[in-house]
């Protein structure tokens, strides 16, 4: 096993800045073993936990996170175990430092590891996004075909506040947009679920491991943003559902909001149910 000094030298002297996995600026990432030992950490983690990323490696997360927060997160994780879903917790105080911000946390299982991501709490009124979903879905009653797809795109844009929402469903697409973009949304682009700013530099995850696959599933992993910038896109939210995907684009940078993303996922699931109802009616 490498010593802390060897790891520190790798962090400060390794010239391979473009290699390995990364996380977007403004987000934090921990890759944990199943018993919550820190295996990797984003190199900005000191802003979140007050400790260097080097110090955290091979240590229990409980050494750096206050007991109540750890207890709540592990209870949530126990309900997630065995699933492929994403668990979220909002307005969490991770350390005993009362001057630090509250954070929203998302975690999931990936390649036998626990991926824990955190962003500053949006502080925009918890539950507002979820409270509007019922009315948005009800507004789709009585629609079908292209009208249903267009209505889904418009309502997703109303829910999320992004400038453009494109709905991809098989060979069909529907778009709701505030103004024009230089290029249409590209479903084939391999981008993460949430992008806050396509112009912001990524943060490396330490130790840097180019072949690591666990972090590929991170909601806010780094990626090549050049095509998005060329298309006039500064921030993105992807919302896949069974059979399709909503792609939300924005012309300005937006802080990733885990609650809005969770609400968008719920809307997409209910929309998929509406699509299935219409399919069954058409088959009768």
Residue 122: band (very low, low, confident or very high) from pLDDT cuts 50, 70, 90? confident
| Mean pLDDT score, 228-237 | 95
pLDDT in tens, 235-280: 999 999 999 999 999 999 999 999 999 999 999 999 999 999 988 8
For the chain, the domains span 4-120, 128-283
Tens of pLDDT along 134-167? 999 999 988 889 999 999 999 999 999 999 999 9
- Please tell me if the domain spanning 4-120 has the same topology as the one spanning 128-283: yes
Tokens 């507004």 -> residue:
139
User: How far is 8 from 13, CA to CA, in rounded Å?
Assistant: 8
Residue 84 is predicted with a pLDDT of 63
The answer to whether the beta carbons of residues 214 and 112 sit under 8 Å apart is: yes
Tell me the C-alpha distance between 262 and 255, whole Å.
15
According to DSSP, the β-strands at 172-177 and 164-169 are antiparallel
At residue 155, the pLDDT reads 97
* C-alpha triplet 81, 87, 91: angle, nearest 5°: 140
What tokens appear for 105 in the block?
Answer: 């946390």
Q: Positive or negative CA dihedral for 128, 134, 137, 142?
A: negative
Give the count of beta carbons closer than 10 Å to the beta carbon of residue 165.
27
User: In this structure, which CATH number among 3.30.450.20, 3.40.50.12780, 2.40.10.220, 3.40.50.2300 belongs to the domain 4-120?
Assistant: 3.30.450.20
Overall fold of domain 128-283:
Beta-Lactamase (3.30.450)
- φ, ψ for residue 78, nearest 5 deg: -65, -30
Report CA-CA distances (Å) from 16 to 7, 23, 47, 98: 14, 16, 23, 37
| Pick from 118-127, 163-172, 230-239, 270-279: least confident | 118-127
Residue 125: pLDDT band (50, 70, 90) is low
- How confident is residue 20, by pLDDT bands cut at 50, 70 and 90? low
Specify the higher pLDDT residue, 163 or 126: 163
Bond preceding residue 207 cis, omega within 30 of 0:
yes
């Amino acid at each position: 096993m490498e010593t802390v000094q060897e790891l520190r030298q790798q962090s400060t002297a390794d010239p391979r800045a473009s290699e390995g996995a990364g996380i977007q600026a403004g987000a934090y990432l921990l890759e944990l073993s199943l018993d919550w030992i820190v295996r990797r950490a984003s190199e900005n983690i000191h802003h979140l936990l007050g400790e260097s990323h080097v110090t955290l490696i091979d240590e229990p997360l409980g050494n750096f996170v206050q007991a109540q927060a750890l207890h709540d997160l592990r209870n949530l994780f126990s309900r997630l175990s065995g699933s492929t879903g994403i668990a979220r917790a909002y307005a969490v105080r991770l350390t005993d430092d009362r001057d630090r911000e509250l954070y929203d946390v998302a975690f999931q299982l990936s390649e036998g590891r626990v991926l824990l991501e955190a962003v500053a709490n949006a502080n925009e009124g918890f539950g507002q996004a979820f409270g509007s979903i019922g009315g948005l879905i009800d507004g789709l009653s009585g629609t079908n075909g292209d009208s249903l797809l267009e209505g889904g795109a418009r309502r997703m844009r109303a829910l999320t506040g992004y400038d453009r929402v494109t709905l991809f469903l098989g060979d069909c697409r529907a778009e709701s947009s505030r103004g024009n973009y230089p290029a249409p949304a590209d479903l084939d682009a391999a981008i993460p679920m949430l992008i806050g700013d396509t112009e912001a530099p990524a943060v490396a995850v330490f130790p840097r491991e180019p072949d690591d696959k666990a972090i590929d599933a991170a909601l806010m992993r780094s990626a090549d943003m050049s095509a998005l910038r060329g298309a006039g896109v500064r921030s993105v939210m992807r919302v896949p559902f069974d059979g399709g995907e909503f792609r939300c684009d924005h012309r300005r940078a937006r802080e990733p909001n885990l609650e809005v993303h969770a609400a968008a996922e719920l809307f997409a699931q209910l929309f998929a149910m509406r699509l299935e109802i219409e399919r069954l009616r058409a088959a009768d």
